């Protein structure tokens, strides 16, 4: 308590009073992210910086006194990444929300980290430009949070994820110094690639205060298609068939009948419920290209004897399907007491085995597992669904999580495709990386953050004792 009062008092002296929150009810709002099931602890104080200089002053203060600092965007993370488990200061970045420049000639935007992704996408689309990364939380999550987690979404199959669009960063390091990595050029080969080391570093190496993001021309035409499949295995095989035949949809989502049933509650034009699994796809590009590619995909679907292939002609109807897909996780959150969104990624040709293995885990543990996700890039999210939270269901959920993760690794995949490690996956990271790689990463962390004040306790389970 005394520590809290001292930190808040010092910060009030350091910055304008309206940039600091110190009351218990305000601090409590920063104790969790969207997961809500990790041990929660309020920070000792919250700072709402408005400039890089504000961030630098806070970091210099925290560094001198070895106070933990946790950067936070919108708190929509699904790995416990922005939760201040060791107390200290939370830097809420949402006031740094300016789109500084959209450069139409160089196809580069300069942004502050608190810009909400959907606002940014709308701003660039007004200029007939395109920023593809599309985490489903886009109406809330910030570009800073996206960069810090290498967020992605359905468009990953054709366009990749956030990391593919970061050209340069302004970052405040733990001691308060400011560096500018990369630049605004598409090519850059000067020393170690610090831009992409900091991208995905989950707030453990520094605070992102500005970013240069690559833009693309906006594709002039789009078409949504739905393939209704007899079984989940057929839908999974269809994904590999579509990609291996050279068709690359802009979005390619895998959904089970149960997911479609939930989406239908919110849809005026309901999707058919005749299949056990579905692919929701979007094809984009020049109009002729969209026509050719959607025809090719329809032919592949027919060849695989799927139950129905529907091309959605009405754009508003198509948009409503994607909106319903975007809301699937919140719908599950409203129905179940606990929803644990796993994030494994497997090579695309292993999706059929993944689907089969998830079914076996669900049956053998007697626990419902939702399965929906970005099948086009192998990042299907198995979701552990708990109707009740008690000792028995928690034990089963933990077993399910471990088996899901081990299955992903056995199939040659990764334990996280886009959510990051945070707290959620820290106990499993060594399974994927091995000790030597972790030691290399820890020595990088030590070099940049010798006092271990940046978002302590994340990524690795053990941390310098703060």
What residues line the site for ligand FAD (CB under 6 A)?
A: 33-34, 70-78, 81-82, 93, 113, 135-137, 141-142, 144-146, 148-149, 151-153, 202-203, 207-208, 329-330, 418-419, 422, 455
How far apart CA 223 and CA 11 sit, in angstroms, is 52
Q: Output 203 or 352, the one with its CB closest to ligand FAD.
A: 203
* 8 A C-beta contact, residue 146 and residue 136: no
Q: Output 118 or 307, the one with its CB closest to ligand FAD.
A: 118
Residue 308 CA, chain-centre distance (Å), reads 32
Positive/negative CA dihedral, 95, 101, 211, 453: negative
Shortest spacing between CB 306 and ligand FAD, in angstroms: 25
Q: Output 115 or 355, the one with its CB closest to ligand FAD.
A: 115
Q: Output 327 or 356, the one with its CB closest to ligand FAD.
A: 327
* 8 A C-beta contact, residue 231 and residue 350: no
Q: DSSP letter at 270?
A: P
* 8 A C-beta contact, residue 368 and residue 231: no
Shortest spacing between CB 359 and ligand FAD, in angstroms: 23
Positive/negative CA dihedral, 186, 191, 193, 195: negative
Where in 53-122 does DSSP place strands (E)?
69-72, 89-92, 99-103, 108-111
Shortest spacing between CB 449 and ligand FAD, in angstroms: 12
- In Å, the largest CA–CA distance within the chain is 70
Shortest spacing between CB 274 and ligand FAD, in angstroms: 27
Q: Output 135 or 352, the one with its CB closest to ligand FAD.
A: 135
> Nearest CA to 81 among 362, 423, 428, 454?
423
Shortest spacing between CB 214 and ligand FAD, in angstroms: 17
Q: Output 81 or 275, the one with its CB closest to ligand FAD.
A: 81
Shortest spacing between CB 341 and ligand FAD, in angstroms: 7
Shortest spacing between CB 207 and ligand FAD, in angstroms: 5
Q: Output 271 or 328, the one with its CB closest to ligand FAD.
A: 328
- What values do phi and psi take at 340, rounded to 5? -105, 110
How far apart CA 71 and CA 203 sit, in angstroms, is 6
């Amino acid at each position: 308590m005394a520590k809290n009062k001292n930190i808040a008092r010092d910060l009030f002296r350091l910055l304008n009073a309206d940039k600091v929150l110190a009351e218990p009810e305000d601090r409590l709002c920063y104790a969790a992210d969207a997961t809500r099931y990790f041990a929660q602890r309020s920070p000792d104080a919250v700072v709402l910086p408005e400039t890089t200089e504000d961030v630098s002053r806070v970091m210099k203060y925290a560094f001198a006194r070895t106070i933990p600092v946790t950067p936070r965007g919108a708190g929509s993370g699904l790995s416990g990444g922005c939760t201040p488990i060791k107390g200290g200061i939370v830097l809420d970045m949402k006031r740094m929300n300016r789109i500084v420049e959209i450069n139409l000639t160089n196809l580069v935007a300069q942004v502050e980290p608190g810009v909400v992704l959907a606002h940014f996408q709308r701003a660039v689309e007004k200029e007939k430009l395109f920023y593809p990364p599309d985490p489903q939380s886009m109406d809330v999550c910030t570009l800073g949070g996206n960069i810090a987690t290498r967020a992605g979404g359905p468009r990953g199959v054709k366009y990749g994820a956030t990391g593919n669009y970061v050209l340069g960063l302004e970052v405040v390091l733990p001691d308060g110094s400011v560096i500018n990595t990369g630049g605004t050029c598409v090519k850059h080969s000067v020393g170690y690639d610090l831009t992409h080391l900091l991208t995905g570093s989950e707030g453990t190496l520094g605070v992102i205060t500005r970013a240069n993001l690559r833009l693309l021309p906006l594709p002039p035409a789009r078409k949504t298609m739905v393939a209704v499949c007899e079984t989940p295995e057929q839908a999974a095989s269809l994904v590999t068939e579509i990609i291996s035949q050279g068709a690359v949809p802009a979005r390619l989502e895998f959904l089970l009948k149960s997911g479609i049933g939930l989406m239908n509650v919110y849809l005026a034009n309901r999707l058919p419920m005749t299949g056990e699994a579905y692919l929701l796809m979007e094809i984009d590009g020049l109009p002729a290209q969209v026509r050719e590619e959607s025809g090719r995909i329809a032919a592949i679907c027919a060849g695989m004897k799927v139950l129905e292939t529907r091309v959605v002609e009405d754009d508003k109807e198509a948009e409503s399907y994607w909106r319903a897909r975007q809301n699937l996780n919140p719908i599950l959150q409203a129905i179940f007491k606990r929803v644990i969104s796993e994030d494994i990624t497997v090579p695309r040709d292993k999706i059929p085995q993944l689907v089969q293995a998830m079914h076996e885990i669900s049956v053998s543990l007697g626990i419902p597992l939702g399965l929906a996700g970005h099948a086009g890039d192998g990042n299907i999210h198995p979701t552990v669904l708990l109707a009740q939270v008690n000792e028995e269901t928690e034990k089963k959920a933990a077993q399910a999580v471990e088996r899901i993760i081990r299955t992903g690794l056995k199939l040659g995949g990764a334990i996280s495709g886009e959510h990051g490690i945070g707290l959620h996956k820290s106990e499993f990271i060594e399974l994927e990386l091995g000790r030597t790689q972790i030691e290399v990463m820890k020595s990088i962390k030590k070099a940049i953050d010798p006092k271990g004040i940046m978002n302590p306790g994340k990524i690795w389970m053990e941390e310098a004792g703060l």
